[in-house]
Amino acid sequence: MNTVFERGPEVDVPHWIDIQEDEEFERFLAGCRTLHAGEADMEDVEALKAQVKKLNARAMEMKMALHDLSEELPAGLDKVMDVARQTQEAFQNLDAARKKLAAATA
């Protein structure tokens, strides 16, 4: 049979026990905060992965549009610079998102 000792205001307990219990409780709370932060980080990482996937699809789409446009030259010559600029922006956005994801997972 386990004996349960309850401490009430009428029990005189040395101060060092309170300090020890407070330190243990603080360690417990710190562990909970770390666990909760880890869950939030995982959600952020998953969101970043989804963003990288979308940006990768967009970059590949722009790459193919530029490729298709180059095959039709000289027709559509006036569109080449606009599509090239959009392709460059798409790949820059993809590169930035990949770096952000790498930093979040490191």
CATH number 3.40.50.300 is the correct assignment for the domain at 42-106? no
Q: What percent of the chain has pLDDT over 70?
A: 62
How far apart, in whole angstroms, are the C-alpha atoms of residue 16 and residue 64? 71
- 103 or 17, higher pLDDT: 103
Instruction: Find the farthest-apart pair of alpha carbons in the chain and give their distance in angstroms, rounded.
Output: 95
How far apart, in whole angstroms, are the C-alpha atoms of residue 79 and residue 69? 8
The highest-confidence range among 7-21, 40-54, 82-96, by mean pLDDT, is 82-96
CB 72 within 8 A of CB 9: no
Residue 11 has what DSSP assignment? S
Supply the pTM of this predicted model.
0.61
Residue 89 has what DSSP assignment? H
Residue 43: per-residue pLDDT: 80
Ranges of beta strands (E only) in 2-106 are: none
Domain ranges in the chain? 42-106
